[in-house]
Structures are given as C-alpha cells and as structure tokens.
Chain A
Amino acid sequence: MGNYQGMMTIVSRKELVKDVYEMVLEGDAASFIQAPGQFINIKINDSLQPYLRRPMSICDYDQHHIKMIFKVVGEGTKILSEKKIGDQLDCLTGLGNGFVDLECQKAVVIGGGLGVPPMYKLAKDLVEKGVKVTAVLGFNSQNDVFYKEEFEKLCPTYIATMDGSLGTKGTVLDALKENQIEFDKYYTCGPEKMLDALVMAYPHNGYLSFEARMGCGFGACMGCSCQVKTKPYKRICVEGPVLHSSEVIVNG
C-alpha cells in the first residue's frame, strides 16, 4: 500500500486547449505511485476554502514527477489553474488500485474527454511490455482534442468526436467498430455513460476507471462506495478506481 502525503512543486504549467491544463509536479511523493490509473488528491491551498482536497488522475509519472491534466470545472480547479511555477501543493499520492493487470496480446486503451490522461502512462507501460496497443480517444469536438500527437508517437490512434469534426462521428464505441479494432483486453476511463456502454458491449474483458465525488480519497469516509457484483461494495478510492467489467453494475 502506498498512500502518502508530500509537498510537490509545480515545475511546468500550460493550457492544452480551452480550460484544460497540463501541470507537472516535482517531489519525492511521486515515488509512492505504483501503477498507472492510481490518482493524486491535492489540497489546493492552505485555507479552509475550498475545504476538501481535489482528486486528480495521473497522466504520466516517474520517481520524482507527476504530470496531470485537468479541466477547470469549478472553484477548486480554477484556483489550481492559476497557480504559478514554483508554487507548492500538499498532495496524497499513489491512491487507489490502478491498472495492474497488463497481461494481454492486443490491448485497446479508450479515453473519453478528461478520461484520456490516465490512458497515456498506461499505453506507455503496455507498449514497453511488448503488447500491441491501439488508442481510441473520444471528445465532444475537434476543439477539445488534446494529446493526439502524444498518443500517435506511442501507437495507432483513432479519434471520435460527437459532432464529427475530427475522426469518427459519434462515440468511442462507434470508432472501435468503424476501424474494426481487434483487442483481447480493453482499458478505459471516461464519463460514466461511456463506461456503461462499454461494459454492455464488452462485459468480459475490460478494466474501467471510475470517477466519484470523494470526501477523503483514502478509504475513511465511505463517500464513494459503489455496489459491485463481486462484493457488497467497493470504495472507488481504495478498491477502485479501476474495476473489472465483469463486476460493474450498470446503473442505466
């Protein structure tokens, strides 16, 4: 188990597309991350407002760095986006289970919107293991697309946009079918509706990373418990965020 707190310093910050920021944090707490798909929980400032930490997915990491990509959707992410290089953040890192089963021949990594970032380090690790990887990235529109080139450097990459302005018109499922992508395992993160659609289409061979409103992020408050087929419940922050497709209960 690696749930640890540390101060991390912002060493780079850039806006990728409108309201979507990439930030690199530097500090020893990065070394507690053990698998792609684990997350980081950040105290945005020292004040009581905003009160709770903000859980963020991890796009890439090494022993000393964490790269994250987030969208400004509210007060906390707004404050975070305005931080400067050199600012420090109180972080809990290495939270959750992450993607640990990378055993397969042909993998497809499927990211939807802000579910794209955690697919990046995962794709890197899969490629490094010699797995044949394909990426499918879904966005609302061409203007929202980010990390296309980064993925293309790693593996064949297909884009789906809801308005059809780039790649397949429609969802990531449409792109999977249109491009006849073969895979024996899929890995995904994205909006719950997208994850539900994938579970219904491919119930047996996928790992899905879920999002939830969290109180603590480390298993204490039970704020993010979800019902699964294999146990009475799992906490998204500890036994998740990654669940196997066979245990997911689709809420409809």
Chain B
Amino acid sequence: MERRALLKLIATATGAGLVCSPAMAVWEEQAPLTTVAQSGLSDATVALITELCETVLPRTDTPGAKDAGLPTFFIGMMREGYTAEQQKLMEAGFADVDARAKNQYGKLFVSLNNKQKTELASALDTEALAFNNGESTGWDGSDYEGLPHYFTLYKQLMIFGFFTSKVGGTQVLRHVDIPGDYRDIEYKKGDKAWMTVWPL
C-alpha cells in the first residue's frame, strides 16, 4: 500500500509521468515480516521466546511451535502488530520469566527441564487469568496501565501464529484448498477442526 501511494505522490509532486504504475498488482505483495536479525532482540531473548513457544504449544504426536516456525513469526509480529507500550510490556515479561526461573530453580528458563518449563508457564497462565480479573498477583503491572498480563499477549499471539502457519493449519488442523461443496459430516471426538481462510 505505502509503496504505491508514495510513488504516486512523488510523481505528482515532481510533475513526472507515471502517477500510477500498472506494473504493480492490484492485490499488492506485502513487505516481508521483520526478521529475527532485524528485531533487535538478543540471542538470549530469542532463545527464551523459542522455548516459551514450544512450552505453550509443544510437539506431541502432531508438530509443535518450533516445527511450525512460530518463534520467528512471534518475534516479527511482536514488532509489527503491537504498540510500543505493548512491546515494552512483552519485553519486560521476558525478563520477568527469567527472574522467576532463577528464583525458583536457580537457572534461566532455557536451561530448565521440560517439566520445570511447563510448571512455570502454567503458573504464569493461571496468574494471568487472576491478574486480568483484577486480583493481586506476583506480576505488578502498574507500569503498564490498561494492559493485560504479559503472558496473555504471548498466548494470544502464539495461538494465532501457530494455527495460521502452514504446519499448524495443515498438520494440526485440517485444510482442503478446493472443497468443491458444502455438506454435513459426522463428527467424533478427536477429529480435527478446519483451518480458516480469513484473518481473525
């Protein structure tokens, strides 16, 4: 959107031709997502995010967060889909996760075993619910007025990114590109849900 708009404005301002370049598609190719390298996050933070993603959405008999490339999407989307204030909260959360890991287990989150990671993330998930309900919890949050617990933002973004990824959408959910028709089908517990085609 911006590139085309800019071209048009430049052309108009300079009086040059090519006010609108038909070489560009109507449905415009969008600029690629901010990469991990462009995100400005330290290697340690990237590693923490990667482990957090895998802890929330782990590989089981179906693929998990790492298989789906979720950490990369999480980092790019954090930079492009969230306000400066929200990003500040999310980054403060990363430090808080490691502080808790150190406090409880004497190690950084990435060095915990799977059981410990799950314990800690579960506690944060429970705490986030309570915090969002206005209860007093281990997360102060007073510097981030009006925002939910940081873990809520993590979890929402992880779920969105994971289930809209190709791996999540086709191997964890079901997807048919050309269904051909619409009909009732029988459902039994364990059958997968369908992937969606419009953003949510």
Q: Do A and B come from one complex?
A: no
**Residues of A bordering B, CB below 8 Å:** none
